[in-house]
Structure 1
Amino acid sequence: MASRVPHVFVILFSVILLAAISTYIVSPGEYDRVEDANGRMIAVDGSYHTVEADRIGFMDVFESVYTGMNAASDIIFYIFIVGGSFGILLSTNVVQGAVGSISRQMAGREKLIIPVLMIFFALAGAMLGLAEETIAYITILIPLMLRLGFDSMTGAAVVLVGTSVGFTTAFMNPFTVGVAQGIAQIPLFSGMTFRIVMWVVFLAISIWYVMRYASKVKKDSKHSVTLENDLELKNKQEPEQQEQAGLTGRQKLVLLILAGAIVMLAIGVTQWGWYLTEIAGLFLLMGILTGIVSNMSFNKIAESFIEGCRTLVMGALVVGVARAILVILQDGKILDTILYGLANAVGSLPTALTAIGMYIVQCLLNYIIPSGSGQAAVTMPIMAPLGDLVGVTRQTAVLAFQLGDGISNIFTPTSGYFMAGLALAGISWIKWVKWIWPLILIHYALGAVFVTIAHLIAYQ
């Protein structure tokens, strides 16, 4: 059965081909774009016009993969550097020692660690807009979850689901809510109370979903969807690493360096505006220092770095291949046509359904424009004034964008950080989809409910 499941690259390349064929079917067109006060190129509402066709040729399909890799190079290299740095960290065996200590302290209370960590990651997504920055934690959490009697799926879900819920229902995310509200010309982070209530509801249901699964695995490992992979992970560990009960003096220093890096990450992101370049540099420094403190030779540090990169090759490459879809749509000049058609469809709906129509449009667009700030720059200049015409408040239009942009980020293979997280966890996309789809449907339904409520109360 497994052999008949398409590989993620097969799925993505099929979508690339479909996008290329669409350039021969869909009429090309573009919106005029202007630079806003923050240097973003935003679409001008009402400026859509047809342009000369620029259809994608045979070789363009294959060249788009290279172009996509080039366009996504910042994320790809970030993934490699973080993966390599944590490869060095893992070689110090500090994770095994920390896992031994925590598992003894959590004896009998293992399940409590799941809601505590998910709340932490949800706050990081909601207040700081963290997404790519959190995937490194998967490497640390999976060994811990295995030791506590859970599985790799639980470890990955704590990080990915927790962060995604925070990012989706964010009350202070500067990269989605902040950008969208700025373009819609409404006060920054206004309407926060409504979004906090939404954050609590989404997170509570998500914690229940993950804990329900984790409890089944804890009772009987046969319920684990990653059982085979987890057995391999345990077998690969050295016997003495599995039995390590605590931390050596050097490993305590390694943990101190790790804690310092996490503190610096929080300060850098919140106070100094750090993004991928600075964070990658921080993790690389952390990796080298942990190797030196652990008395590893420089050759061993380099080899561990390469091994860490090797585990993330597929996840990193998926980011570039997925970006090729957007390259095709942009080069073929049909991305704006798709947006124009969807906006017209929303405008033709009865007033009571317009807000839901906006939400559905944003949900669909996130499958081809996975960047939150990028989607805001493309859609909000059109959706905000459209809302004025059909009786939807601009705050509700921002909410529809926010929810539509976030929910599928841990479902669609075009989401780069999500695919990198799965690669770190050693979980196939197909297995993840089979596990997560009920929760994704619940999130979509909740999103529709909150958008409807916002529309009915004229959310401001």
Structure 2
Amino acid sequence: MGIQTNGSTDKPKTGFLRFFKIPHTYVILVILTLVACVLTYLVPAGEFDRAKDAHSGKTLVVPTSYHAVEPHPISLLEVPGAIVKGLNDSSDIVFFIFIIGGAFQIITATGTIEAVTGRVARLFAKRAKLVIPAFLAMFSVGGFTMGMSSEVMVFVPLGIAIARSLGYDAVTGTAMVSLGASIGFTAGLMNPFNVGIAQVIAEVPMFSGMWLRAILLLVLFLLTSWYLIRYATREKAKQPEQTDAAASMQAELSQLPKMETKHYLTLLAIAAGFALLIWGVSKKDWWMEELSALFLTMGVVSGACARFGPSKIASEFVKGATAIMFGAFIIGIARSVMIVLDEGNIIDTIVHSLSAVVGELPGSLQVLGMYLFQTVMNVFITSGTGMAATTMPIMVPLADLLGITRQTSVLAFQMGDGFTNMILPTSSALMGSLAVSGISYQKWVKFFWPLMVIWVVIGAVFVIIANVIGY
């Protein structure tokens, strides 16, 4: 659900991947914490004055107030304490993630997602021109609500079977599932695992600014549909007819549950929950406590709609919370990096230095610099939650200094975090889907890199627009 592992699987690798193994995400974050400790001995200590803005109520950096302060280097022996303090300081976000993970697992256990997938597949199975955008649209919803990423690999075989029945190849079947989830995850309309966490750190209303993200999703959907249809049509002309493809598709569809009353009721509960979420955030300034209660209620009601007993609901909740533990702990460990930089009195020095470098650029290039920084960081931290916790505490004050809105800094983060996930060998969402489909990494890169370039350029256009309009 948007919280990705760091590609530390034991699956055999081919080619250069045999010699390229990124450490576990926790190891990377601990290394960053140790590096931060070393920096407290090397980087001059300094800080900005901060003042509460009367209009927005946010505590903002005073741009010209940077000054030197007493150095306070952090010993390596203090690192374990910093990690524990990071978990304590992030407890509200950590428990928010646990509750969402448990609630979404209850919804998943109802079988509604599989039933809806089967319904859409049967509806569009014989409409070759519509099946690709239909699947992209359906899985984008999972991406921008539940943060669906690695979970889509379960549906890849179905996508491939349907694609082959229409004369398309396995790449098309894999892409119309995984790329759908990817564009939804990146646009992140109501994704609590990347946009939600980033907005909490940036101190802007959670899920605010949804209108521009909705436009981003529409643009990504249209461009990706065009690219994939064009690719599929071209590859179809090269392939011989597959006589057993339709039978294979029917076999796949027969394994999916049919839509029943409980599935319709569950969908109604989910729709009502997200409608209430939009109302509460926009009209009542709901924050993590209210949203946690809403997601918890949504999960329990969905379970009741599926005729789950109390014990079944509880066990599925625990299962979901357990599965999300990896990502929840990332937040606390990532927070330890900021604690060391903050207690060492050097985080403002780093921000001041970055602002001096980026500030020399023209206005539009300043926001592109932030976007590029987030894109590069995604190579090392492929977890959206982990990257938000690691980079946003630096990007927020930097945005304040550069006169860039915090909402724009969140937009730069979410696109930098999302666009390259479908090409990085460290992404479990990608590598899991390729493992299920039997497509080589090299073949996928050849297919996907032109689309990724298009996505990245679109992202650059959007951050520039956001900066110009004061998003």
* Equivalent pair of 2:412/2:463 in contact (CA under 8 Å): no
Aligned counterpart for 1:112 among listed residues 115, 122, 133: 133
Q: Is structure 2 residue 146 aligned with structure 1 residue 135? A: yes
Say if 1:447 and 1:370 are closer, same or farther in 2 by CA, change over 3 A: same
Give the distance between the partners of 2:50 and 2:102, measured in 1 at CA.
39
Deviation (angstroms), 1:208: 5.4
Amino acid of the residue matched to residue 378 of structure 1?
P
Return the alpha-carbon distance in structure 2 between the equivalents of residues 92 and 139 of structure 1. 19
Match of 1:410 in 2: 418
- Give 1:382's aligned residue: 401
Q: Name the CA shift for 1:262/1:400 in 2 (closer, same or farther; >3 Å).
A: closer
Q: CA deviation at 1:287?
A: 2.0
AA matched with 2:353: G
> How do 1:324-403 and structure 2 match up within 5 A?
324-348=336-360, 353=362, 355-357=364-366, 359-361=368-370, 363-364=372-373, 367=377, 370=388, 377-384=396-403, 401=409
Q: Which residue of 2 aligns with 1:48?
A: 66
Change (3 A) 1:345 1:335: same
Alpha carbons of structure 1 residues 272 and 206: separation in structure 2 relative to 1, 3 Å:
farther
Aligned residue identity for 2:180? V
Q: Where do 1:59-458 residues align within 5 Å?
A: 59-107=77-125, 108=127, 109-117=130-138, 134-136=145-147, 146-149=157-160, 155=177, 157-165=179-187, 204-205=222-223, 243-348=255-360, 353=362, 355-357=364-366, 359-361=368-370, 363-364=372-373, 367=377, 370=388, 377-384=396-403, 401=409, 404-410=412-418, 443-445=455-457
Residues 12 and 88 from structure 1, CA distance in 2 versus in 1: closer, same or farther, beyond 3 angstroms? same
CA contact under 8 A between 2:110 and 2:263: conserved in structure 1?
yes
TM-score by length of 1: 0.66
Name the SS of the counterpart of 1:296 in structure 2.
Answer: coil
SS of 1:22's equivalent in the other structure is: helix
Shift of 1:408: 2.0
TM-score w.r.t. the length of structure 2 is 0.65
CA shift for structure 1 position 15: 1.7
RMSD of equivalent CA atoms:
4.9
Conservation of the 8 A alpha-carbon contact between 1:311 and 1:423: no
* Distance apart, 1:50 and its partner CA: 0.8
1:29 to 28, 41, 46: 46
Q: Secondary structure at the match of 2:388?
A: coil
SS in 2 for 1:23: helix
How many pairs were matched up? 390
**Aligned partner of 2:75 among 40, 57, 61:** 57
- Residues 399-440 of structure 1: per-residue CA shift (max 9 Å, x gap): 985664443223799xxxxxxx97899789xx9xx9788766
Aligned letter for 1:65? I
State the distance in 2 between where 1:114 and 1:403 align: 25
Structure 1 66/117 Cα, relative in aligned 2: closer, same or farther at 3 Å? same
Shift of 1:53: 0.9
Q: Report the Cα offset of residue 380 of structure 1.
A: 3.6
Change (3 A) 1:143 1:98: farther
What SS does the aligned partner of 2:51 have? strand
**Mind listing any 5+ residue stretches in structure 2 that lack a counterpart?**
1-11, 161-171, 190-194, 238-250, 378-385, 422-426, 435-440
Percentage of identical aligned residues: 28
Give the Cα–Cα distance (whole angstroms) in 2 for the partners of residues 154 and 20 of structure 1: 45
In the aligned structure 2, how far is the partner of 1:6 from the partner of 1:214?
36
How far the C-alpha of 1:33 sits from its partner, in A, is 0.3
Measured after TM superposition, the shift of residue 373 of structure 1 is: 7.9
CA distance in 2, matches of 1:137, 1:347: 37
Note the C-alpha offset of 1:313.
1.7
Measure, in 1, the Cα distance between the counterparts of 2:102 and 2:428: 16
Decide whether the 8 Å contact of 1:261 with 1:286 is kept in 2.
yes
Residue 126 of structure 1 is matched in structure 2 by none
Give the SS at the match of 1:24.
helix
| Contact 2:159–2:176 under 8 Å retained in 1 | no
Once the two structures are TM-superposed, the CA of residue 275 in structure 1 deviates from its matched residue by 3.5
CA distance in structure 1 between the aligned counterparts of 2:227 and 2:316, rounded to whole angstroms: 36
Q: Which whole-Å CA distance do the structure 1 matches of 2:111 and 2:465 have between them?
A: 51
Aligned-pair CA distance for 1:10: 1.8
CA distance in 2, matches of 1:200, 1:135: 18
1:170 maps to what in 2? none
